[in-house]
Amino acid sequence: MSSKNLFSFLFLLVLPFSSSSDTTAGIKSGFWYAGSEFPVPEIPSTMYTHLHFAFAYINTTSFELYISHSDEPYISTFYETVKQNNPSVITLLSILGGRNESTNFFAMTSQYSRRKSFIRTSIKTARQYGFQGLDLLAVNPNTATNMTNMRTFIEEWRTAIDSESKSSGTKRLILTMGAYYSPMLDSMSYPVDTIVRNFDWVHLITYDYYLPTKDNFTGAHTALYDPASKLNTDYGIKEWIKSGLPANKIVLGLAYHGYAWTLVNPNHNTVGSPARGPAITQDGSMSYRYIKNYMKSYGVTPVYNSTLVVNYVTIGSFWIGYDDVEAIKTKVSYAKDKGLLGFAAFQIPSDDVDWELSKAALDEEEEDQRDSNQRLLAILLPTLTITILLLSTILCILKRKTTRSEGIGELNERAIGRNLKVFSFDQIKEATDNFSIKNKIGEGGFGPVYKGRLSDGEEIAVKRLSECSKQGVEEFQNEVSLASKLQHVNVLQLQGYCIKREEKILIYEYMPNKSLDFYLYDPVKSLKLDWETRIRIIEGVTQGLLYLQEYSTFTVIHRDLKASNILLDDEMKPKISDFGIARLFQKDEKEANTGKIVGTYGCVPPEYVNQGIYSRKYDVYSFGVLLLQILGGKKNSCVYGIENNLNLLEYAYELWQKGNGVDFIDILLQDDSQIGKQLRCMQVALLCVQEKWEDRPSMLEVHSMLKNETEILPNPKVPAFSKNKDNTTQETVVTIELACSDNSLTISQLIAR
Ligand SMILES: *[C@@H]1O[C@H](CO)[C@@H](O)[C@H](O)[C@H]1NC(C)=O
Ligand SMILES: *[C@@H]1O[C@H](CO)[C@@H](O)[C@H](O)[C@H]1NC(C)=O
Ligand SMILES: *[C@@H]1O[C@H](CO)[C@@H](O)[C@H](O)[C@H]1NC(C)=O
Ligand SMILES: *[C@@H]1O[C@H](CO)[C@@H](O)[C@H](O)[C@H]1NC(C)=O
Ligand SMILES: *[C@@H]1O[C@H](CO)[C@@H](O)[C@H](O)[C@H]1NC(C)=O
């Protein structure tokens, strides 16, 4: 019997026990948001009783339920996949009715025929994909008319669900609602009586109380209690119960994400301290996974505030508020004490690689259950033993499985769904004054870039792609929506796109200070880049690359990291640009196969030139080259040394070897008090450009080497593309035609011998 079959068999044995205790057992539900791109087979479904697939939406014209095109491949296999690990897990399809969808939702509820379309298609879709329930999330009534329509809709929905079950002879679909933390919002209350009668349970959105984009002080975004404010979970739950929703129909929301603020004064860093906007990510949101990695890389530990039941941590002027294991355990235990039905976690992929939060919630829940089920336990002891054995085996396997998985985390939980703007061609034409040459600010790898100003005054950068993309519109949209999910302060934010016939246009945030290469090699402009500024740029690029490689939902290999792709904002803070959509253009791969590679000389590592291999170490190599350029203020397309026969890497290495590294450092930076740090950066750079990719450090290591000034660094080996190799097994000769004036050169490759 294969291990999978064995599991299913054992589960069947346990099934009678688990279903007989189902009525008393708490609901342990969790969300999987398709936009997270987290692999469905790796969802720890054994730790949950219910899984929500998020989200389905309402079509604005037909009012039918629809699944966004990019989510379709997931939804069709979701049910089967999660059941493989846990045959008794129940799946629900979550429909977003609130936030950006609320106008749409109320438009749907306002007419009988629209409600009918929606109700019919919601049931049909749920059945088609094997869901056992439907969930309506984040709706809140805002006017009396809307409230009345909402009541009617809920009644009709439930009636239709009941009759579908009767006529089809299948088990009735579960109907749940995800409501805000308190029944009373902006003077309008939820229709509690209708909700009680028609929904199986209500799970509460007991998080996002404070947001760095909205509040100018650090907030406990998911506080259980707060003596100083009503904005807390305990208050909301009491209000719900007071208004008539029984405790045993309430499911507590758990947040597996937190928010990062920038502190006004790093010494004032408790809850409620002055802050000015988000930190680390665009809107400050961070998954628990990302927060843990972040804390680990800085070696800091969080504070637990037991009054509010939240954790927070301060790193320099960044402040992150979130729930760690203690907070989660306390909340689950609170839910048990109050007789609530269970918990709903948003969202499972944000948990860390070892599923620490899921485990904490599960342990707490099971523990209490064991206490109250003493008698039952005595009777069913043998079965329970099997369950526990089984569970620990699964945990064990799961752990092994998940530690292997890539760093998947950071997701912008707030920007649910379609967070990308679609611009019309006319809008863009107007913004750029018909792509006027005076608005042209650059020529990127994929076409010209223009500065534009939208009618509301917002400045944008417009990249008009040349015809090199051979992809269809749909593929283009998919790729673009993937790129839009990357959100980090050191990564240029894609804001939207525009498609019209042959035209494919990308719209980015506008960077007033151009790019790094604009300053670096110019004797006057480079005065603007003092050592402090350069260090900040290095740190920012490191953080951006760390995010792309380790913490973003999918690993991004940039493959064209260079000074002209490092853009600078009004404070000279760097943002990495021109990535993500790199996949759109198959050019590189094709040419690799024909033995000719177009790249930017010096930024392309040898394993790619020679064998077409690219890995994360590709960007590490380019980062090393960039670091040398920042330190030396030197171009990499020139020759150096007494005999003018050394390339930039050879030159740096030779000076380093001779103990004359200081001669490499830009004359403008030379300052005795900083030389130690500068030479350390140079050593790290030389480690990054080593010939063999296996020898190069990872970005995590690079980050740690730059941060911990006492860490002993290894001695760099000969850099790539050196004439004097210490490695005699090298068989490949690479000839590089270069000219000082030209930045993008062709590297033609000859395989010798
Ligand atoms: C919405 O419905 C209309 C009419 O049936 C259809 O043409 C359109 O493609 C739908 N839109 C989406 C996003 O599914
Ligand atoms: C219902 O709510 C929507 C979304 O907030 C709003 O645009 C609309 O005006 C409301 N309709 C009525 C009739 O109050
Ligand atoms: C924070 O915002 C509030 C109102 O939005 C304002 O009254 C207050 O002065 C602001 N505080 C700071 C420190 O900016
Ligand atoms: C928790 O935070 C609140 C609000 O900032 C503060 O008043 C309280 O002293 C803190 N409690 C602990 C134990 O740190
Ligand atoms: C959703 O709403 C937020 C503000 O509520 C807005 O910033 C964002 O652009 C909206 N997204 C879409 C796709 O409409």
pLDDT digits (tens, 9 = 90+) for 680-719: 999 999 999 998 888 999 888 999 899 888 888 999 999 9
Mean per-residue pLDDT for 404-418?
29
pLDDT at 152 over 80: yes
Q: How far is the first Cα of the chain from the last one, in angstroms, to the nearest whole number?
A: 53
Mean per-residue pLDDT for 124-141?
95
Query: Which span out of 234-243, 430-439, 472-481 was modeled with the highest average pLDDT?
Result: 234-243
Measure the CA angle with vertex 616, ends 610 and 741; round to 5°: 60
Between 320-324, 340-344, 433-437, the lowest mean confidence (pLDDT) is in 433-437
Q: Is residue 66 within 6 Å of ligand 1 at its C-beta? A: yes
Report the C-alpha gap between 410 and 256 in whole angstroms: 11
How many CB atoms are closer than 10 A to CB 443? 12
Report the C-alpha gap between 142 and 145 in whole angstroms: 9
Report the C-alpha gap between 560 and 61 in whole angstroms: 42
Report the C-alpha gap between 241 and 246 in whole angstroms: 6
CA of 216 to the centre of ligand 3 (A): 6
Nearest in space to 433 (alpha carbons), one of 405, 452, 407: 452
CA of 102 to the centre of ligand 5 (A): 11
Between 32-41, 63-72, 158-167, the lowest mean confidence (pLDDT) is in 32-41
pLDDT at 138 over 90: yes
Active-site position among 560, 578, 588, 666: 560
CA of 32 to the centre of ligand 5 (A): 21
The residue assigned the tokens 């014209």 is 61
pLDDT at 554 over 70: no
Name the region of 633 (left: φ>0; alpha: ψ -120 to 50; beta: rest): left
Instruction: Return the percentage of the chain with pLDDT > 90, whole number.
Output: 55
Report the C-alpha gap between 692 and 685 in whole angstroms: 14
Phi/psi of residue 29, nearest 5 degrees: -110, 160
What lies within 8 Å, CB to CB, of 547 at 6+ separation is 410, 486, 488, 490, 491
pLDDT score at 553: 63
Beta carbons of 493 and 487 less than 8 angstroms apart? yes
Q: Is residue 229 within 6 Å of ligand 4 at its C-beta? A: no
pLDDT at 478 over 70: no
How many CB atoms are closer than 10 A to CB 661? 20
Taking CA atoms only, the protein residue closest to ligand 4 atom 4 is: 271
Residue 363 bears catalytic tag? no
The residue assigned the tokens 């040419």 is 591
- Is 0.85 surpassed by the pTM of this model? no
**Identity at 625, one-letter amino acid code:** V
DSSP-H helix ranges across 373-409: 374-379, 381-404
pLDDT at 600 over 80: no
Instruction: Please report which confidence band the pLDDT of residue 586 belongs to, taking 50, 70 and 90 as the band edges.
Output: very low
pLDDT at 275 over 90: yes
Report the C-alpha gap between 411 and 127 in whole angstroms: 29
pLDDT at 471 over 90: no
Mean per-residue pLDDT for 589-603?
42
pLDDT at 380 over 70: no
pLDDT at 409 over 60: no
SS (H, E, C) 88-125: CCEEEEEEECCHHHHHHHHHHHCCHHHHHHHHHHHHHH
pLDDT score at 325: 97
Measure the CA angle with vertex 24, ends 365 and 13; round to 5°: 85
pLDDT at 424 over 80: yes
pLDDT at 66 over 50: yes
Helix, strand, coil % in the chain, rounded to nearest 5: 45, 20, 40
pLDDT score at 690: 93
Burial class (CB in 10 A: 0-12, 13-18, 19+), 75: buried
Mean per-residue pLDDT for 329-333?
96
Beta carbons of 173 and 164 less than 8 angstroms apart? yes
pLDDT score at 486: 77
Taking CA atoms only, the protein residue closest to ligand 1 atom 10 is: 59
Beta carbons of 441 and 327 less than 8 angstroms apart? no
Report the C-alpha gap between 85 and 4 in whole angstroms: 8
Taking CA atoms only, the protein residue closest to ligand 2 atom 5 is: 103
Mutate to test the pocket of ligand 2, among 103, 111, 140, 149 (most ligand atoms within 8 A of CB): 103
For residue 526, CA distances in Å to 56, 79, 499, 662 come to: 51, 58, 39, 19
Instruction: Please report which confidence band the pLDDT of residue 404 belongs to, taking 50, 70 and 90 as the band edges.
Output: very low
Burial class (CB in 10 A: 0-12, 13-18, 19+), 396: exposed
Report the C-alpha gap between 313 and 304 in whole angstroms: 9
pLDDT at 592 over 70: no
Of all ligands present, the nearest one to the C-alpha of 98 is 2
Instruction: Please report which confidence band the pLDDT of residue 368 belongs to, taking 50, 70 and 90 as the band edges.
Output: low
What residues are in contact with ligand 3 under a 6 Å CB criterion?
216, 274
Instruction: Please report which confidence band the pLDDT of residue 293 belongs to, taking 50, 70 and 90 as the band edges.
Output: confident
Mean per-residue pLDDT for 253-271?
94
Q: Is residue 729 within 6 Å of ligand 1 at its C-beta? A: no
pLDDT score at 469: 55
pLDDT score at 11: 41
Mean per-residue pLDDT for 255-260?
96
Between 154-163, 365-374, 735-744, the lowest mean confidence (pLDDT) is in 735-744
| Atom of ligand 2 minimally distant from the CA of 149 | 13
Report the C-alpha gap between 690 and 720 in whole angstroms: 6
Mean per-residue pLDDT for 726-740?
35
Helix (H) or strand (E) holding 30: strand 27-33
Mutate to test the pocket of ligand 3, among 210, 216, 261, 263 (most ligand atoms within 8 A of CB): 216
Mean per-residue pLDDT for 467-490?
70
Of all ligands present, the nearest one to the C-alpha of 304 is 4
CA of 62 to the centre of ligand 1 (A): 7
Beta carbons of 458 and 452 less than 8 angstroms apart? no
Report the C-alpha gap between 184 and 190 in whole angstroms: 7
CA of 227 to the centre of ligand 4 (A): 10
Nearest in space to 171 (alpha carbons), one of 200, 150, 195: 200
Q: Is residue 189 within 6 Å of ligand 5 at its C-beta? A: no
pLDDT at 301 over 60: yes
Mean per-residue pLDDT for 22-26?
53
